[in-house]
Amino acid sequence: MSVSMSILAILDDGPAYGLQLKNDFETRTGSIWPLNVGQVYTTLSRLERDGLVRPAGNGDDKSYQITREGRARLMAWFDEPLEARSPGRDELVLKLIMAVGRKGVSAGDVIQAERKAAIRQLQDYTKLKREADAAANLGWLFLLDSLIFQTEARVRWLDACEARLRRARPFTQRARRAASDREEVRR
């Protein structure tokens, strides 16, 4: 939904070709979210089918413009808060879940490696923000702030995971000793 709404928002500024839409989207997002031109044209086809965009100019011109219905849908998107959805699968969360208790894998080492990578990413985002021209693209600054806050939250979550892991180790060690003792009794 966000790509189609973004395309409508760009077209609300004026007619554009598919490649122009791709480039404008990537400029506005600082190329953090690359967009395939094929995806742009597929989305334009759906938007045209739904009556939200139409070809601009004559038949040879493959630029598109937003329709009145498209503008109404765009304004509704801006006006309505997004519904909370079930969380997507986060690969890092799955990685940590699968690392816990796995022989030959240290969940603590996984956490440390991920924290280092997140800190590097945080530094990169902070540098981009420092170098950004505030007057030139406020949207780019919104995106950078979002990425910084998300990365800071990831680091805090990794810290919490590490603390939980430390608290769980004595219990896990006692449980392993008890299981070993039970095994000895059975022999």
- Residue 95: Cβ within 10 Å count: 15
In this prediction, residues 49-74 reach a mean pLDDT of: 89
List C-alpha distances in Å: 144 to 27, 151, 181: 13, 10, 54
Whether pLDDT at 103 is above 70: yes
% of the chain exceeding 70 in pLDDT: 86
The answer to whether 165 and 108 have CB atoms below 8 angstroms apart is yes
Pairwise CA distance, residues 177 & 174, whole Å: 5
Instruction: Tokens 């329709």: give the residue.
Output: 67
**Counting beta carbons within 10 angstroms of the beta carbon of residue 119, is it exposed (0 to 12), middle (13 to 18) or buried (19 or more)?**
middle
Q: For position 144, what pLDDT does the model report?
A: 92
In this prediction, residues 17-38 reach a mean pLDDT of: 89
The answer to whether 3 and 39 have CB atoms below 8 angstroms apart is yes
Residue 16's φ and ψ, nearest 5 degrees, are -155, 155
Whether pLDDT at 169 is above 80: no
- Residue 41: Cβ within 10 Å count: 17
In this prediction, residues 105-118 reach a mean pLDDT of: 95
Whether pLDDT at 134 is above 70: no
Pairwise CA distance, residues 109 & 178, whole Å: 26
Max avg pLDDT among 44-53, 126-135, 171-180: 44-53
Q: For the chain, what are the domain ranges? A: 2-79, 91-186
- Residue 78: Cβ within 10 Å count: 8
Pairwise CA distance, residues 67 & 48, whole Å: 9
Give me the residues paired with residue 54 across strands.
65
Does the domain formed by 2-79 have CATH 1.10.10.10? Answer: yes
Q: What is the mean pLDDT of the chain?
A: 87
Pairwise CA distance, residues 156 & 121, whole Å: 14
